[in-house]
Amino acid sequence: MSAVDAPAPAVAPRRVRVRTRGGARRLILPVYTWLVLLFTAIPIAVMIAYSFNQAPSGRLTFHWTGFTTQWYQQVFDISDLTSALVHSLEVALASTVISVLIGTPLALALARYRFRGRGAADAVIFTDIAAPEVVVGASLLSLFISLGVSRGLVTIVIAHVAFSVVFVVVVVRARVQGLDRSIEKAAYDLGAGPWVTFQKITLPLILPGIVAGALLAFAMSIDDFIITEFVAGQTLTFPLWVYGAVKVGIPPQVFVMGTLIFVVGIALAIINAVLQRRAPA
Amino acid sequence: MRLRRGATPYLLGLPAGLWLGIFFVVPIVTVLSVSLQTGNPDTGYALTWNFSIFGTVINQYHTELLRSFEYGLISTVIALVICYPMAYWIAFHGGRHKSTYLFLILLPFFVSFVIRTLSWQFILSDRGIVLGNLKSWGIIPSSLHVLSTPFAVIAGLTYNALPFMALPLYVALEKIDRRVVQAANDLYASPRATFTRVIVPLSSAGIFAGILLVFVTNVGDYVNAAILGGPGTTMIGNVIETSYLENLDYPTASALSSILMAAMLLIIWLYARTFGTQAVEEAVT
C-alpha cells in the first residue's frame, strides 16, 4: 500500500458563502471527523468488551465465549500482575513528585530570567521531547552498564523523571509566561519579600499549571513501555508484564485493569477540567 | 521578561539541569563509547575504538534500518492525511464543543500503549471479531491474513500516531486569524485557492511539528512490529531491543542506537533550526 491510496477525503474548505450551497457538502467534514473519532475508540471498546469475556482457560482468546463479570471480582488474583501494577503506581507517583519538585524551579528560571545556558537548556528540553524512546532507553542502559548500576525500581524512576520533567517544565513555563506580573509587583509594593510573594501570589497562580504538568507526568510514567523495558532489569511494571504475556496468552485481568485505569483516568481528567474552568486564569 | 543576572536562575535550574545532564545528555555520549568496545558477555567489554562496528552493523541490518524509515514515512503521511481535515473542521467549525472534540482525540492516551496495540491484534487476527466474522459470512476469502503483514504494522503505527499528529495541527489551525481567510474570500479566491494558498501555508508550523513527532517516534518503535508484525516486518528497534536485552550484544546494540540517534538528532536539529521549537512545545501544553 502506498500513501497515495490512503483515504483523501474531499478537503473542501467551507466558507462563508458555502451556506448558499446544498446541505450534503456541509456534512462531509463533520461526518468524517466523527468517523475518525469512532475509529480511534475501537481498540478501547475492544478492551472493555473483552474484559467481560468468559475465557474458560483463564487466557483470552480471540473467540467471544460469553459475558461475565467474574474477572472484575478476581482482578487481583494474579499476584505478579498485581505487583507489576503496584510497581507502576509507585514509579509514577515517585517520578511525578520529583519531576514537579525539580521541574517547577527550572520553569520559573526559564520564564523569568535571561542567563547563560538558557539556549542550551531549551535545546536539551526540545531534544528530550522529540528523541525516539528506543534511543533514550538504550543510552541510559549503556550508562548504567558502564557504571555497573544494577537495574530495578530506582533506575526506572530515574529514567521516568528524565523524560517527564521536561513536560512539567514546558507546561509550567507556559503558565508562568501568561501571568500578569503587576499582581506580584503590587505585593512587592505592599512590602512582601520575595519568598512571601512567591508563596502567597506566584505559587497559587501557577498551581493549575503545576497540576496539569503533574497529571501529564503521571500519565506518561504509568504508560511508558519502551524506555522502562531497557532500564527495568528483572523488575516488571504493568506495561512490561502485559508485553511479556503477549506470547503466552493474555489473562482477562489485564483488560480489566486497563479498563479500570481508563475509567479512573477519564474521571480525573474531567475533574481537572472542571476545576481549571472554575479557577480564574 | 525582566533582565536579572546573578545566581538565582542557576540555583533554580540546577536540580533539573543536573538530572537532565546526567541521565539524558551523558548517556547519549556513553552509548557511542560502548559501541566502540569489543568483547563478549562472559569476559566483559573493553574500549578498543572499534569503528569498523558501524560498517558491520549497517551491512548486517540495512534491511531493518531502511524498513524502519519506510514504515515511519508511510505511517506519518497517512496520519497527516487522516488528521488534517479533522483538525481543520474542529478548529474552524468546532464551535463550543472544541474542547470536547480534543478530549475525544486524546481518548487513546487513557489506555496503555501496549494494551491499545494488543487490542488491534484482537481486531486483526484471523479468528477475531472483524476478520473472523467476515470470513464466516464469506465476504472475504479465508486465505486472507492481516496479522504479521506490513499492513498490520503500519496500521498500528498510524493508529498510535493519530493524537500526536492531530494535536499540533489543531493548535496551528486554531491560531489562524479568521480575518485573513475572510480577506481571501473577499478577494475572490476560490475555496481551493483559499485552502492551498492561505490555510495550508498558515498551518505549516503544525504540519511540520506533527511530522517530526510522529516520524521520529515511529521510526524508533518496536512494539507495533513485535505485537502485530511477523518475521518479515522486523524494525531497527526490534534489533536494538533483542541485542541489548536478550543477546547482551552491547556493542552491536549501541552501534545501532548510535546510528539511529545520529539520524534522528540530525532531523531534530534541522527542524529546530528551521522552524524553532515553539510549535512542538505548544502542542504538548
The whole-number average pLDDT for the span A217-226 is 94
B216, A131: Cβ pair inside 8 Å? yes
- Give the number of other CB atoms < 10 A from CB of residue A233: 17
Comparing alpha-carbon positions, the chain A residue that sits nearest to B119 is A43
List, for residues B32-78, the tens digit of each pLDDT value: 777 777 766 666 677 777 778 888 889 999 999 999 999 999 999 99
Compute the nearest-CA separation of B109 from chain A (Å): 8
Residue A273 identity (one-letter amino acid): A
Grid cell 537548556 is found at A121
List, for residues B228-273, the tens digit of each pLDDT value: 999 899 999 999 999 989 888 888 888 899 899 888 888 988 898 8
What per-residue confidence (pLDDT) applies to B8?
A: 85
Query: Of A142-151, A191-200, B125-134, B139-148, where does mean pLDDT reach its minimum?
Result: B125-134
Comparing alpha-carbon positions, the chain B residue that sits nearest to A264 is B110
What per-residue confidence (pLDDT) applies to B247?
A: 86
Q: Is this model's pTM higher than 0.90 or not?
A: no
Residues of B numbered 182-241 whose beta carbons fall under 8 angstroms of chain A's beta carbons: which are they? Answer: 182, 185, 191, 194-195, 199, 212-213, 216-217, 219-223, 226-227, 237, 240-241
Q: Which residue has the higher pLDDT, B124 or A239?
A: A239
Mean pLDDT value across chain B: 88
Compute the nearest-CA separation of B191 from chain A (Å): 6
The whole-number average pLDDT for the span B124-153 is 82
What per-residue confidence (pLDDT) applies to B40?
A: 66
B212, A11: Cβ pair inside 8 Å? no
- In this prediction, what percent of chain A has a pLDDT beyond 90? 57
Comparing CA positions, the residue from B264, B262, B274, B93 lying closest to residue B173 is B93
Going by the DSSP 8-state scheme, the letter that residue A67 receives in this structure is B
Residues of B whose CB is below 8 A from A125: 20, 277
DSSP letter for each residue of A159-197? HHHHHHHHHHHHHHHHHHHTS-HHHHHHHHHTT--HHHH
A48 contact partners, CB below 8 Å, separation of at least 6: A255, A259, A262
A138, B159: Cβ pair inside 8 Å? no
Among the partner residues B4, B227, B241, nearest to A113 by beta-carbon distance: B4
Comparing CA positions, the residue from A261, A130, A129 lying closest to residue B108 is A261
Residue A151 identity (one-letter amino acid): R
The SS3 call for residue B46 is: strand
Confidence grade of residue B82 (pLDDT, cut at 50, 70, 90) = very high
Q: Is the pLDDT of residue A61 over 80?
A: no
Best residue in B78, B107, B112 for a mutation probing chain A (most A CBs within 10 Å): B112
What per-residue confidence (pLDDT) applies to B43?
A: 63
Helices (H), chain B: 8-20, 26-35, 52-93, 98-106, 113-124, 131-136, 150-175, 178-186, 191-194, 200-202, 204-219, 223-228, 236-245, 250-275, 278-284
Compute the nearest-CA separation of B202 from chain A (Å): 14
Compute the nearest-CA separation of B54 from chain A (Å): 16
A113, B9: Cβ pair inside 8 Å? yes
Mean pLDDT value across chain A: 87
CB contacts < 8 A (A, B)? 325
Residues of B numbered 59-78 whose beta carbons fall under 8 angstroms of chain A's beta carbons: which are they? Answer: 73-74, 77-78
Measured CA to CA, the distance from residue A135 to residue B241 in angstroms comes to 10
Up-side HSE of residue A31: CA atoms within 13 Å toward CB? Answer: 9
What per-residue confidence (pLDDT) applies to A142?
A: 87
Q: Is the pLDDT of residue B16 over 90?
A: yes
Measured CA to CA, the distance from residue A77 to residue A57 in angstroms comes to 15
Measured CA to CA, the distance from residue A169 to residue B16 in angstroms comes to 9
Q: Is the pLDDT of residue A101 over 90?
A: yes
A230, B89: Cβ pair inside 8 Å? no
What per-residue confidence (pLDDT) applies to B44?
A: 66
A134, B237: Cβ pair inside 8 Å? yes
Confidence grade of residue B191 (pLDDT, cut at 50, 70, 90) = confident
List, for residues A10-54, the tens digit of each pLDDT value: 445 544 444 445 567 788 999 999 999 999 999 999 999 989 988
The SS3 call for residue A53 is: strand
Name the grid cell of A262: 481508563
Residues of A whose CB is below 8 A from B2: 112-113, 181
- For residues B234 and B225, the answer to whether their CB atoms sit within 8 Å is yes
Phi-psi bin for B215: left (phi > 0), alpha (psi -120 to 50), beta?
Answer: alpha
Up-side HSE of residue A201: CA atoms within 13 Å toward CB? Answer: 18
- In this prediction, what percent of chain B has a pLDDT beyond 70? 95
Residues of B whose CB is below 8 A from A115: 5, 9-10
Among the partner residues A102, A130, A133, nearest to B19 by beta-carbon distance: A102
What per-residue confidence (pLDDT) applies to B170?
A: 95
Name the grid cell of A199: 508563596
List, for residues A105-144, the tens digit of each pLDDT value: 999 999 988 888 888 998 899 999 888 999 999 999 989 9
What per-residue confidence (pLDDT) applies to A276?
A: 73
Q: A70 vs A49, A75, A76, A275, B134, CA distance in Å?
A: 13, 8, 12, 36, 29
Residues of A whose CB is below 8 A from B74: 1-3
Residues of B numbered 113-142 whose beta carbons fall under 8 angstroms of chain A's beta carbons: which are they? Answer: 113-116, 118-123, 125-129, 132
Cα B82 to chain centroid, rounded: 15
A132, B219: Cβ pair inside 8 Å? yes
With residue A258 as reference, give the H or E element that holds it: helix A252-278
What per-residue confidence (pLDDT) applies to B33?
A: 76
Comparing alpha-carbon positions, the chain A residue that sits nearest to B278 is A126
Query: Of A180-184, B140-144, B209-213, where does mean pLDDT reach its minimum?
Result: B140-144
Compute the nearest-CA separation of A16 from chain B (Å): 8
Residues of B whose CB is below 8 A from A170: 281, 284-285
What per-residue confidence (pLDDT) applies to B142?
A: 76
Grid cell 548510535 is found at B258
Report CA torsion sign: B154, B160, B166, B168: negative
Measured CA to CA, the distance from residue A139 to residue A185 in angstroms comes to 45
Best residue in A4, A48, A142 for a mutation probing chain B (most B CBs within 10 Å): A142
Query: Of A99-103, B84-88, B276-280, where does mean pLDDT reach its minimum?
Result: B276-280
Residues of B whose CB is below 8 A from A111: 1
